[in-house]
Amino acid sequence: MASSSSGLPMHDSHGHGTSSLDFGTLDSEERQETAQDMLVPNCFTSRRHDEDARNRHELPMLPPWRLRERMKTLSVGLVLCLNVGVDPPDAPKQSPCARLECWTDPFAGTPMKALETIGGHLQKQYERWQPRARYKQSLDPTVDDVKRLCANLRRHAKEERVLFHYNGHGVPKPTRNGEVWVFNKQYTQYIPLSLFDLQTWTGSPAIYVWEANNAGIIVEEFQKFCKVREEDRQKCSLMGMTIKAPTLVHNAIQLAACGCDEILPLDKDMPADLFTSCLTTPIKTSIRWWFFRSETRKMVPDVKIEMVDAIPGRISDRRTLLGELNWIFTAIADSIAWDILPTAVFQDLFRHDLLVASLFRNFLCAELVLSSYNCKPISSPAMPSAKRHPMWQTWIIVLDSCMRQLPEVILKEESYENNTFFAEQLAAFAVWLRIRNINRSPPQQLPVILQVLLSPVHRYQALELLGRFLEQGPLAVHTALNVGIFPYVVKLLQSSAVDLRPLLVFVWAKILAVDTSCQGDLVKDGAFKYFLNVLSEPNLPAHHARNQHEYQSMAAFILTMIVKDHPNGKEACLQNNIIATCLELLESTSSQLKQWCIICLGCMWQNFEKARWCAVRDGAPEKLYPLLADSTPELRTAVVFALGTFLSDNKADRSEQASSIDQGVGMMLTSLVHDGSHLVREELCLVFRTLTSNYETQFLQAMSDDLQRQALLQASLATPTGGSPSLLTTSSNVPMSAPPTATNGGTQKRHARTGSAGASSTLSTAAGFFSIGGSSSPESASPSAAARTASTNVSAAAGGGSRGSDWVMVPASVEDELKEAAEKYERSGSAQHGVALAQLRRSSDAPSKDQRQPGLASASVTGGSPNSLGGSPSQGPGSIHLLPPPAAAAVGAGNGHLFTGPGSSAGKTSFANMWKALSLLATDPHLEVSNMADKIIKRLRLSGNQSRNNSLSLPSSPRTSRVRTASTQRLNGSPNTSSPSTSDQPASPPQPDSAPAFQRGNLSRIKSMPGPPAAGASASLSDHEQPRPDGNKSSTIPRSMSVQQFSGNLVGPRLVEDYYNDFQTDLLDVVDDFDTNFLPWMSSSFILSAAEWDRVHDVDSKPNLERDWRLKRNAEIRSEAKALMKDAVHSKYRLEDQVFVNRNSESPLCLLFHPYQPELLAADKMNITVWDWEQGTAVNTVHNHKQNSRARITTLDLINPHDVSLLMAGTDDGCVRVWRDYNKEGGGTQVAAWRALTDLVPTNRSSSNPSPSLVLDWEQESGVLFASGNARIIRVWDTQREQIIQDIPTFADTCVTSLTSDIAGRSSLIAGCGDGSIRLYDRRVPPNDCLVKKFHEHPSWVVKVYLQQGASQGKIISAGVGGDIRYWDPRFQESTAKVNTGMRISCMDVHHHAPLMAVGSRDQVAKIYHIDSQESLGVIKYHEGFMGQRIASVNALAFHPYKMCMAAGFTDSLISIYADEKKKL
């Protein structure tokens, strides 16, 4: 099959694409350059990046293809008014003329006998097309006879169709009064029969055949009566009356032999009832008509009329001459009808009723034959004229070919050679498929393909071509279903032919990808077993064996569609061991096969307990867990999907084992919160939605525990040990994006450690996890006020307000590890930023029980209640330490696992870890993921709000009661009166809520909780002066306190009531009824749209031609650049002429040139502006992030610059975002976003140093991203897998400030560090031995390190902030050269191909140097005077990769491009 033998659409995940590039137009060098670009893979262009999983999977709106209701013609009335021997008075016949009626000579016997014979022959002719119908004859009838006949027909047919055949050859012509003629009883008079009465007697639905002269009059008058009836019905309906009358307007079908002014042909060589003969015996009639054509007799002189009347064979036997002619005629007539009729009309006339379809098929033949006698048959509904359709010429050619064999077959009894018609039509269809044109009509040969499927000889080729046609998109599939392919492919599933297996699987995969309603048909007849057999035992033919996994994947997909939301399908497949089969295939090497087997399992046990417990017995979860680390993002997502549907939905009757399984699944999935694929994280949100819904109480408990620990901690910090209460304030001059620095050396840090009275501690988290405000009033200085202040400033991070914090509490039981982590954190230069560590002593050094402060009565909150899993009492008195994320990771996170203090209840329960994971998802850089997690958290908050009135708080246990009492007493300023210690009850699995607090139907009564305030908006306001949503001050808790609704008993009822009184707006987005649509999106991979089909198959499609143009353009630019670079080696380019200047929206922090387009990208803190530097205009502005307004952009890079470029931006919160359409006005669509580093430490640096929070290095050729910064590792990401492939330890106690890698060898990685060292790593060796070289000559911070590919002197260039530039050779320990710039360096860049480098300084100076000679080529600086150039401090520098120009960004928001105007760019 075309999409080759694989049978699957060829998706170009690496973006190589199809190219029609003509290399003959390029010289050898350009040809080599272009070929090099073609080999570079495109990244972030797979389906998960190139389309939105929630929108693009939707199929176009197509009309239904299934027949609304199949109708049968069960009653046939044959009315013959011949009056043999007597011609009607208005139509006398001349001799010789046509005499045959139903191929019978009426004058061969007595008139009555002839009439009966003709009636019998007519009935037999109709029985060929509908043998099961009931036939009634009325020969030369009266009006009463016709009335009785019609009544009997309608009584038998009931609601089915009735056929009324009228032959009026022996009566006068129909009248304009709407009458046809019959006889009186004595046959002495012609009696008129009103069509109006006939309509009433026959009823509806009905089909009428009029064989009479001027039959068109009957059709016109019949339609007039139908309109009159319809008008009467409408009038009665308006008057409120009902009448019982047949609905004839739409359901009456008429076929008439000729027009209003035409008479029937009287050719003596043809039958008198030529129209009836065409309708009932089309093959015999068309052959006879063919024979008497003058040109035919000359071509086949040996054929006699006797032979034509004696063609051997049977109509039903396709192996005979007569049978094959009928088979070919059917295919041709269907093709003509398909071509000329609208789809809906084609289905109504050719697919609803077998007899009606045969009559209309033969009606086309009647039009062909009668038109040669200047007679035009009439139909209602009217059929477009088809007498000149080219397929009729094909029919004549077929007759010529077949009749030429007739003498040998009849006289010599030789075997008949089959006609080549079907082979020729298959070849024509193949040509149609090769010549692709989206806008053309469907192929005429499609109905022929259906007929060919009946032939074993051509069946394989027909199925192959059909598969190629279905591959062109959902419209092609819908077209094939409209033609009527469905019953054919269903019947073929009964075939045992092995060679048809892959083709049938492919065809059914295409069908079910478009229309899943076919699942019932497959289950009803047991046809689904065909695909189960293919899945378990493929047994494919040899030429398809190499693609076995792909066909098995399609079979798994088909079974997925069968069981999806289909109980009968699930039950049937379960009885056939589908779960065991899919689990066995998880050992396969095919990622796609495993993926669809997993999805099939997920659909199988979704809302189906029997399948779920069957999977438990087979160990399904344990077999799925290892695949969470698979290298394919879609497969990891499939595992999350399957495990999510595996969670029990039976809230009312969930067993302890089911709850334990759910908890285990949730804990296993928490490790995926930092997965690189947004698909995985989105599906993870659905899992947490299910968990929070099923275990609402436990999650509320975890939230309350988290909140209570923070309140206790803040109260402890507000009341230092052994001294009077200290006032904790927020320093107004400290940025909120990082912990505050000590303002007076080490004094403040020392006071924080010793807890001295009056020490002023400053506390602020990196992302607003909590904040403490204070005032100088005496009231606020009291212990209770301080505790209340601490409590009311707990952030909503636990409840979904603020985002981005990973700060955790560490109990004293890990004091040794804590000290080690604190030392590491202090060596990084940020210990003074951290927190005023409440350094308490162990039990040996701790104060006595009576000396403890109220805030420390219960330093560790344990969940010992039955509803809290894993809870245990704390290990005696201990202290609480608050650590920022890196230190927390050093203490207990390890390998990316979530850390919670082991002495806390959250550390003892899985729900605390799941709550932590959900909170992290709410801070996800991908908008969809964070929005989903936000909705889940808001729903939980509302559930807690509703449950508060029902006393839903911490479970009643001795320990939690003691904690609640202590907290309440602190809020009221009373001393602590601890209750006796009581051992905790044994833990038990959580049980679901019997009545969940949150119901989706009660949203009208849900009130809102406002979100967190803007950064720094309330830093200077006291607790009682927090801003209201309307901007006024109010004595309420801060907006960040919205989570306190869960623990009103902990923070005091007054605060909660004030909160409800002041904030009453509705939460419009709290409903968490969202879906990732992962399954529909994955299913759409089996259907290519027309545009995708073009991109894959058509080398002349627009996407491929555009790509060819880009490759040629790139080759030309590089060719021109090589000449410039050769000149630059010997010439002195003085890049001092300003060729572009413009003002950015803010001061640019990063600059980047596009190598092949006139684009300059300038990034400030949050936005990226795209400049057309040739035109001097801003093209677009991309807003990089919305969740964390404090994160700054620290690095920019371009992905796929040689093709359709994507923009990558990294921010100092460790997140990376990738954008497409960034250079289109109003564009900027997020392709991917993830957290490249999860353990960044806030930076401690002077304002003159560049930010090292996140540094990236991108390798286009390998699709690898290196990420580091203020961390102790260099993380290596494989962007194709969207997975971490390596963590390289830096072996440094300082941050990484710059990264560069060896593109050619892909083994070396070089890092510049904050301590001035240059470290060389080998990625091929184990992590512990990867540091192979260390250079340390820079006395200070390394601004940038650059690996010069193929340089003659010094392959590594680095610049230190102190002003020195050094050259390094990995073979030597010391630098090979040094350049002293004489200024402090703020930024540096090196030209990729020319021997140029530039450095910038905060001193309003930028210098350009020749790399080889170290000679200064120019200085850009601030000049005095009226005409002098004025520049601000230099923030960023960037060289164009292929042109001799340099961009500079300044602190006054100006961007300039410098070049040498005397030389070419």
The three-class DSSP label of residue 610 is helix
β-bridge partners, 742: none
- Token match 């077929």: residue? 398
Backbone angles phi, psi at 1232, to 5 degrees: -155, 155
Check residue 833 and give its pLDDT: 36
Confidence (pTM): 0.77
Check residue 1102 and give its pLDDT: 81
3 state SS for 138-201: EECCCHHHHHHHHHHHHHHHCCCEEEEEEECCCCCCCECCCEEEEECCCCCCEEEEEHHHHHHH
Give the Cα separation of 442 and 446 in Å (integer): 8
Region of residue 1322 (left: phi > 0; alpha: psi -120 to 50; beta: else): beta
Instruction: Please state whether the peptide bond connecting residue 866 to the residue before it is cis, i.e. omega within 30 degrees of 0.
Output: no
CB 470 within 8 A of CB 3: no
Greatest Cα pair distance, the chain, in angstroms, is 136
Closest listed residue to residue 560, CA positions, set 528, 584, 525, 586: 528
Extract the runs of DSSP E, i.e. beta strands, from 360-413: 378-380
CB 1215 within 8 A of CB 1327: no
* Apex 1020 CA angle, 1014 and 1026, nearest 5: 65
Give the Cα separation of 1231 and 45 in Å (integer): 9
β-bridge partners, 166: 79, 210
Sheet of 1387-1390: strand order equals 1387-1390, 1396-1401, 1405-1410, 1416-1421
Check residue 685 and give its pLDDT: 95
Check residue 288 and give its pLDDT: 92
Instruction: Please state whether the peptide bond connecting residue 381 to the residue before it is cis, i.e. omega within 30 degrees of 0.
Output: yes
- Token match 């013959």: residue? 80
Burial class of residue 238 in the structure, from the number of CB atoms within 10 Å of its CB (0-12 exposed, 13-18 middle, 19+ buried): exposed
Burial class of residue 197 in the structure, from the number of CB atoms within 10 Å of its CB (0-12 exposed, 13-18 middle, 19+ buried): middle
Closest listed residue to residue 1142, CA positions, set 1177, 1179, 1180, 1170: 1177
Residues of the chain where predicted confidence (pLDDT) is lower than 70:
1-34, 51-60, 68, 241-250, 294, 296, 436-439, 650-653, 716-908, 946-1072, 1089-1098, 1128-1130, 1186-1189, 1241-1252, 1350-1354, 1423-1429, 1462-1465
Check residue 1042 and give its pLDDT: 35
Backbone angles phi, psi at 1344, to 5 degrees: -155, 145
Check residue 242 and give its pLDDT: 62
**CA 914 vs CA 687, 898, 939, 1237: distances in Å:** 11, 9, 16, 20
Q: What would the two tokens of residue 1167 be?
A: 């936005």
The three-class DSSP label of residue 1027 is strand
Q: What would the two tokens of residue 689 be?
A: 């939605």
**CA 1201 vs CA 31, 268, 1152, 1172: distances in Å:** 19, 80, 12, 16
- The CB-based long-range contact list for 54-62 (8 Å cut-off, 24+ gap) reads 54/928, 54/1076, 54/1077, 54/1081, 56/1081, 56/1084, 57/1077, 57/1080, 57/1081, 57/1083, 57/1084, 58/1080, 59/474, 59/514, 59/1084, 59/1087, 60/474, 60/475, 62/474, 62/475, 62/478
Give the Cα separation of 635 and 553 in Å (integer): 13
The three-class DSSP label of residue 1109 is helix
1092: Cα separation from own chain's centroid: 15
What is the end-to-end Cα distance of the chain in Å, rounded? 52
Give the Cα separation of 267 and 275 in Å (integer): 13
One-letter identity of residue 831: A
One-letter identity of residue 369: V
The secondary structure of residue 1312, as a DSSP letter, is: E
